[in-house]
């Protein structure tokens, strides 16, 4: 069996292709750098994170981008020996407007190097490139209509031809589909089969009413006939399902003629409570075509399945990745991410002290420009993380430690700092929906210690932090904390990223005090929490 989701943790808006016997999925990364994750499989069951597409500032500069802006809904395709990646770099989503420049990058090898971006348009988001069998190429994207007189800002799907020779859009842009009664029509993908152009879209919004719908036409320009059994996939009004938010689908045909759809899902960490701390993930379903030419879930129905039968492909597992990063390489490992910009030697180094990650403190956790933070996705509901840090702060504005980070408004942070009374000290701070607080009852003096180990143990909706001074016994610090605010749904405004676990440093004095991290361990094989309590 294949157990869903196949890409766990924050991996939304999947776009899948097959090249020979290899399968690749591109997913959204929003304000996290590098941009666009590419996962690889040969059996549609076992997946590994292979590479990223946007790895330098000439391709992607998100300095100042708001939370949940940045890279939305990349579309990966392949034609005539060249990989194409289309994406939106959202610059603003405030008020009635959305600034959504769409770009194209290409590469001969999936692992790069990828070209610098070619600007396409900015009329809406979720762009997708379709390679027709006559050699022509077509861009489709949703159209954003900011006018307040319109009841629905999602104004349909627009089509325009792309000239590979001129490397630009040519001809007229035309609305080809206005959506169904479900509305909020986005994420278009075009396919061609048996003389029909099939248009797959997401509708209902990327929350609990999310859905996949289909339409078809003999002409790429339409008119498109709506599937009479839409939606073909949804979790709407079914809170009993383990996989919620099902939508934003993308199709692939195997080399053996089987069909699969990858799609977005979310998993609430508490039953019947709409909070997805892991963010939006990627699942896969087996699909089949009916005799009259419509696409259906294999076996019937339209609800996402947790377990599906494997595909007729040789099993191809990948080696397990180590739990611990000892920072022995000169570059960050593939699972690490930074906010909005790539790391550079002015604030992060793996070579200044061999075997340590050195982070120089810069701006606060509210900053959207110069944060000194490296983090990885939380990918299991029950997990733990641990590090060892050395820092000698001499001012309360200097701090470093272990963080659970959703965005600038929501985080929980166990940090070493300095207090006029306690001296070098350890304490918990958190921000909930933008309201910052220090959990003063958690503050502990750690004297002249050299090293301090920090640990967090996450059980679904709670987190308990621990510390150990100079390799002494582990002690708990602070209460067991509710972390449901580290979820997509915790604010009134829609958010799109899951929880990250990271290492960071701040120095609000501007002196750039550094912290050295000896290792980082992330494990989904839960150990028993330490028993000692801090008094």
Mean pLDDT of 31-50: 98
Q: Is 344 a catalytic residue?
A: no
- Of the candidates 195, 145, 203, the residue with the CA atom closest to the CA atom of residue 175: 145
Cα 503 from Cα 387, distance rounded (Å): 8
Cα 99 from Cα 89, distance rounded (Å): 9
Q: 178 in helix, strand or coil?
A: coil
- Of the candidates 150, 152, 144, 157, the residue with the CA atom closest to the CA atom of residue 202: 157
Residues 213, 121, 12, 250: is their CA dihedral positive or negative?
positive
Mean pLDDT of 406-426: 97
Q: Which domains does the chain have, with CATH numbers?
A: 2-308 (2.115.10.20), 324-523 (2.60.120.200)
Of the listed 31, 43, 126, 186, which one is catalytic? 186
Cα 471 from Cα 476, distance rounded (Å): 14
CA torsion 296-298-301-307 (nearest 10°) is -130
pLDDT score, position 149: 61
Mean pLDDT of 238-266: 98
Q: Is 186 a catalytic residue?
A: yes
CA torsion 522-52-23-166 (nearest 10°) is 170
> pLDDT grade, residue 533 (50/70/90)?
very low
pLDDT score, position 525: 83
pLDDT score, position 151: 58
Distances (CA, A) of 244 to 210, 272, 303, 393, 421: 9, 11, 9, 45, 49
pLDDT score, position 48: 98
Q: How many CB atoms neighbour CB 107 within 10 A? A: 16
Is the pLDDT higher at 169 or at 528? 169
Of 310-319, 406-415, 503-512, 525-534, the least confident: 525-534
Q: How many CB atoms neighbour CB 140 within 10 A? A: 25
Cα 283 from Cα 6, distance rounded (Å): 5
> pLDDT grade, residue 531 (50/70/90)?
very low
Of the listed 13, 67, 227, 384, which one is catalytic? 13
Q: Which two tokens stand for residue 155?
A: 């104004």
Cα 196 from Cα 187, distance rounded (Å): 19
How do residues 321-365 score in pLDDT, each as one tens digit? 999 999 999 999 999 999 999 999 999 999 999 999 999 999 999
- Of the candidates 42, 29, 11, 37, the residue with the CA atom closest to the CA atom of residue 252: 42
Model confidence pTM above 0.95? yes
Mean pLDDT of 269-278: 95
How do residues 461-512 score in pLDDT, each as one tens digit? 999 999 999 999 999 999 999 999 999 998 766 789 999 999 999 999 999 9
């Amino acid at each position: 069996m294949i157990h869903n989701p196949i890409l766990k943790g924050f991996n939304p808006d999947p776009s899948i292709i097959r090249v020979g016997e290899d399968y690749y999925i591109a997913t959204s990364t929003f304000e996290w750098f590098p941009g666009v994750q590419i996962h690889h499989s040969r059996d549609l069951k076992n997946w590994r994170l292979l590479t990223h597409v946007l790895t330098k500032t000439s391709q992607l500069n998100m300095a100042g981008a708001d939370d949940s802006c940045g890279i939305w809904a990349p579309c990966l395709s392949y034609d005539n020996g060249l990989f194409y990646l289309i994406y939106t770099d959202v610059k603003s989503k405030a008020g009635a407007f959305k600034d959504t420049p769409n770009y194209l990058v290409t590469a001969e090898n999936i692992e790069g190097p990828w070209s610098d971006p070619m600007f396409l348009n900015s009329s809406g988001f979720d762009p997708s490139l379709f390679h027709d069998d006559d050699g022509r190429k077509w861009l489709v994207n949703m159209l954003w209509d900011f006018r307040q007189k319109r009841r629905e800002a999602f104004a349909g799907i627009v089509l325009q031809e792309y000239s590979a020779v001129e490397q630009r859009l040519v001809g007229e842009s035309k609305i080809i589909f206005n959506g169904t009664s479900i509305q909020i029509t986005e994420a278009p993908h075009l396919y061609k089969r048996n003389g029909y152009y099939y248009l797959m879209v997401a509708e209902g919004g990327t929350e609990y009413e999310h859905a996949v719908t289909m339409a078809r036409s003999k002409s790429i320009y339409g008119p498109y006939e709506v599937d009479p059994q839409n939606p073909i996939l949804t979790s709407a009004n079914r809170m009993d399902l383990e996989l919620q938010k099902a939508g934003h689908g993308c199709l692939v045909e195997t080399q053996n003629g089987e069909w699969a759809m990858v799609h977005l899902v979310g998993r609430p960490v508490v039953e019947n409570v709409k909070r997805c701390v892991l963010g939006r993930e990627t699942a896969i379903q087996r699909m089949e075509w009916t005799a009259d030419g419509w696409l259906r879930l294999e076996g019937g129905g339209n609800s996402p399945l947790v377990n599906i039968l494997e595909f007729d492909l040789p099993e191809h597992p990948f080696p397990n990745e180590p739990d611990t990063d000892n920072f022995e390489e000169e570059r960050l490992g593939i699972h690490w991410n930074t906010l909005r910009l790539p790391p550079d030697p002015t604030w992060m180094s793996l070579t200044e002290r061999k075997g340590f990650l050195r982070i120089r403190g810069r701006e606060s956790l509210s900053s959207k420009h110069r944060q000194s933070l490296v983090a990885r996705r939380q990918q299991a509901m029950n997990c733990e993380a641990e590090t060892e840090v050395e820092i000698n702060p001499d001012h309360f504005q200097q701090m470093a430690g272990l963080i659970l980070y959703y965005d600038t408004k929501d985080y929980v942070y166990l940090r070493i700092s300095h207090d006029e009374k306690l001296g070098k000290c350890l304490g918990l701070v958190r921000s909930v929906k933008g309201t910052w607080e220090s959990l003063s009852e958690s503050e502990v003096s750690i004297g002249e210690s050299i090293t301090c180990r920090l640990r967090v143990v996450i059980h679904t909706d709670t987190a308990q932090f621990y510390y150990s001074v100079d390799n002494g016994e582990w002690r708990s610090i602070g209460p067991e904390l509710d972390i449901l605010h580290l979820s997509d749904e915790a604010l009134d405004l829609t958010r799109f990223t899951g929880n990250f676990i990271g290492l960071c440093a701040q120095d609000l004095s501007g002196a750039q005090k550094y912290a050295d991290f000896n290792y980082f361990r992330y494990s989904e094989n839960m150990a028993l929490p330490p028993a000692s309590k801090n008094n």
